[in-house]
Amino acid sequence: MLTLQFIPYAEIQGLSSGRRTKKLLDAAKQNKIVLLQGRLTKQEEADLIQKTMEQIDDKFKGIELSVIAPGNMDGAWHEKVKQQLLSLLMGDREGFTIIGPATIVKEIRKDPHKIQLLMKDKRKR
Amino acid sequence: MIGIIRRFINKFFNGLFKKKKHIKLGLYGPPNGGKTTLANRICKDWLGEEMGKVSNIPHETREIQIKEQIVIKSGGKELSFNLVDTPGIATKIDYEDFLKSGMKEKEAKIRAKEATKGVIDAIRWLDDMDLVIVVLDATADPYSQVNITIIGNLQARDIPVLLVGNKVDLKRAKLKRVQSAFPQYNLVGISAKYGNSMEEFYEALFKIAS
């Protein structure tokens, strides 16, 4: 059975960077596909990759990660300022982050208009 | 955050007391984009010798490689740097993928372990870079999260970036797609393997470094 876990931004808002990435990685290691409201900072994304690498072994092969950012950053300057102010005050709750274990999610294909989660053939896992 | 503060302090004091003689020029990107092939091309062009081994199997470079004091010249200008070739950054490494290349299980597991350490080191070294060339395979999907994370981290650290679309000698190469994924950067399309458009590459490097 495939589990999709939704994590609202409020659930990670008060956590330190280290605990945020740990929470996401722990869920992926339990073979869950995580749908996080909002996004990590770029530094946290890099930390998540580092922590993932530290934990790779014969069973855990890593993660597939994709961030779907809002597409309104090409708008007028006052829209960009508004977005950045909101991010500063409320956190990066715009968009979604998808994280799945590499043993289940083969690839996340993304272009500006669509996202495709390609799953691994169960017999090959 | 500590890295950003350290970088700011380094930049401030370097600017105050001396002009940096040799900048650290990093090659970053996903595995098999052609970072080491480009490093070899640069070293062959200016030093007459290669820097590292290349292969079609991902994660051939699993340790940071440094070639010191490379001096390149273009249009009467001179640029000297230490070239840092980094292991490809990935979010997953499966030793079973290496088995497909004919490796024995033990060898594949060792390679996978070394590759994970290489990714960690590559990310750690980000803070030490003065300038980064992001090498992307122009035949591959440019919207991969690894590419976005690398470029986002460089942007956050205020490190100048030269974006390279490699393997333009292949028919499947789509430079326009790479450019549309990262419109904020100037893109240079090259073939590091055959040396195509290297003059254009060096000119772009001078522009970014100055």
What's the CATH number where B137 sits? 3.40.50.300
State the pLDDT confidence band at B58, using cuts at 50, 70 and 90.
confident
Query: What is the average per-residue pLDDT within B139-146?
Result: 93
Instruction: Name every chain B residue with its beta carbon within 8 A of the beta carbon of A56.
Output: 92-93, 112, 116
Residue B70 lies in a domain: yes
Q: Return the pLDDT at A76.
A: 65
Residue B110 lies in a domain: yes
The dihedral of CA A22, A23, A26, A28: what is its sign?
A: negative
Q: Return the pLDDT at B7.
A: 62
Q: Return the pLDDT at B11.
A: 58
Tell me how far CA of residue B78 lies from CA of B22, B27, B67, in angstroms.
11, 20, 17
Residue B202 lies in a domain: yes
Q: Return the pLDDT at A24.
A: 96
User: CB pairs below 8 Å between A and B: how many?
Assistant: 70
Q: Return the pLDDT at A56.
A: 96
pLDDT at A81 over 90: no
Domain ranges across chain A = 3-124
State the pLDDT confidence band at A1, using cuts at 50, 70 and 90.
confident
Residue B35, φ and ψ in degrees, nearest 5 = -65, -50
Which structure tokens are listed for A90? 């409320």
Residue B13 lies in a domain: no
Tell me how far CA of residue B137 lies from CA of B13, B30, B53, B165, in angstroms.
37, 8, 18, 6
**Count of domains forming chain B:** 1
Q: Which comes out higher in pLDDT, residue B55 or B176? A: B176
Name which of B9-23, B60-74, B112-126, B139-153 the model is least confident about. B9-23
Residue B100 lies in a domain: yes
State the pLDDT confidence band at A86, using cuts at 50, 70 and 90.
low
- Interface confidence (ipTM) of the complex: 0.86
Tell me how far CA of residue A87 lies from CA of A91, B95, B142, B171, in angstroms.
5, 39, 26, 42
Residue type, A99: I
State the pLDDT confidence band at B18, using cuts at 50, 70 and 90.
very low
Q: Return the pLDDT at A115.
A: 80
pLDDT at B20 over 60: no
What is the DSSP code (8-state) at residue A1?
A: -
pLDDT, tens digit (0-9, with 9 covering 90-100), for A92-110? 778 899 999 999 999 888 7
Name which of A87-101, B77-91, B95-109, B168-182 the model is least confident about. A87-101
Chain A 1-40, CB below 8 Å of chain B: which residues?
none
Residue B14 lies in a domain: no
Q: What whole-number distance in Å separates Cα of residue A41 and Cα of residue B4?
A: 14
Query: What is the average per-residue pLDDT within A28-57?
Result: 95
Query: B126–A64: do the CB atoms touch at under 8 Å?
Result: no
Name which of B69-83, B116-130, B189-203 the model is least confident about. B69-83
What is the DSSP code (8-state) at residue B61?
A: -
CB–CB of B41/B198 below 8 Å?
Answer: yes
Q: Return the pLDDT at B17.
A: 42
Residue from A34, A52, A53 whose CB has the most chain B CBs within 10 Å, to mutate: A53
Query: What is the average per-residue pLDDT within A41-54?
Result: 96
Domain span holding position B83 = 2-8+20-209
The most confident of the ranges A73-87, B28-42, B71-85 is: B28-42
Q: Which comes out higher in pLDDT, residue B51 or A43? A: A43
Query: A53–B94: do the CB atoms touch at under 8 Å?
Result: no
pLDDT at B21 over 90: no
List Cβ neighbours of B70 (8 Å cut-off, separation of 6 or more): B42, B43, B46, B47, B80, B81, B82, B83
Residue B68, φ and ψ in degrees, nearest 5 = -90, 155
Which structure tokens are listed for B107? 């060898």
Query: A42–B152: do the CB atoms touch at under 8 Å?
Result: yes
Residue with tokens 């062959």: B44
Which structure tokens are listed for A40? 């990590």
CB–CB of B163/B170 below 8 Å?
Answer: no
Q: Which comes out higher in pLDDT, residue A80 or A75? A: A80
